[in-house]
Structure 1
């Protein structure tokens, strides 16, 4: 099973339009700005090429690691040391029977959502607690990552 770099690339790109919508002033942007202390002047003074470029880079890393999280067949590959040429015939038989099992957008979304709930939320929450941020801040940012991970998980799981 090879890494699907096109799926990873597309999944990484979806974080940008989701962020555009999520942090829009008509959705959560105004609340987020208040909770972070961000002002329009500060935002306008940012190097947006750097911000969006690094956002895409970090999103690419997230999408890359999502493949083994949302695609069950990576577990079988891991059990043989990640080299199918060294596998016993039972691996080929298993993959022939189950190689496409649970490779759906819906199933990838489920695992992406669980990744958001059980990884993104606690990580954002821990940082926010030490930064003395509010629950609104935690829920807005963790919600964004959970939505992104849900969509990203669907993309990388279904794209064969």
Structure 2
């Protein structure tokens, strides 16, 4: 099973698209700015090209891990040490029977949702507690990442 770097890149890119919509002032942008203490002046003061570039890199890192979560066949590959050429015949038989099982957008989105809800949201929520941020901040930021993980998971899982 090979890593589909194009799928990972497109999944990573999707976070920027979701962010442009999610953090638009007509959606959640105004709430996020208020709850995070962000101002127009602070936004204009940064290097946005650098911000988007590093954001894309981080999203690529996330997509790399999400592929292991959303594509079950990576688990079978892990069971044989990552090298199918040294696997027993049972691995080949398994892959012949189940090599494309559960490789749908919907299945990847489900795993993305679960990962976002049970991994990302608690991390963001815990940070928000210690940073004395509001529950609205947690919901807006956590919701963003849950949606991103769903879309990323769907893209990665469905793209064969």
The yes-or-no answer on 1:136 pairing with 2:136 is: yes
Written as runs of structure 1 = structure 2, the 5 A alignment for 1:36-115 is 36-115=36-115
User: Which consecutive aligned stretches of 4+ in structure 1 deviate over 3 angstroms post-superposition?
Assistant: none
1:23 aligns with 2:26: no
Q: Please give the alpha-carbon distance, in whole angstroms, between the structure 2 residues aligned to 1:16 and 1:156.
A: 16
Match runs of 1:119-158 below 5 Å: 119-158=119-158
Q: CA deviation at 1:17?
A: 1.1
Q: Secondary structure at the match of 1:2?
A: coil
Does the residue aligned with 1:27 lie in a helix, a strand or coil? coil
Q: Deviations over 1:75-96 (max 9, x none)?
A: 1111111110110001000100
Match of 1:6 in 2: 6
Equivalents in 2 of 1:148, 1:17: separation in Å?
9
What do you get for the CA RMSD once the two structures are aligned? Answer: 0.5
- Alignment partners' CA distance in 2, 1:15 and 1:154: 13
Structure 2 Cα separation of the partners of residues 55 and 75 of structure 1: 28
List per-residue Cα deviations over 1:27-65 (Å, max 9, x = no partner). 010010000111101101111011101110000000111
**Structure 2 Cα separation of the partners of residues 4 and 42 of structure 1:** 37
List alignment gaps of at least 5 residues for structure 1.
none
| Counterpart-to-counterpart distance in 2, 1:65 and 1:26 | 32
Using the TM superposition, give the Cα deviation of residue 68 of structure 1 relative to its aligned residue in structure 2, in angstroms: 0.6
Aligned residues: 160
The separation in 2 between residues aligned to 1:86 and 1:73, in whole angstroms, is 16
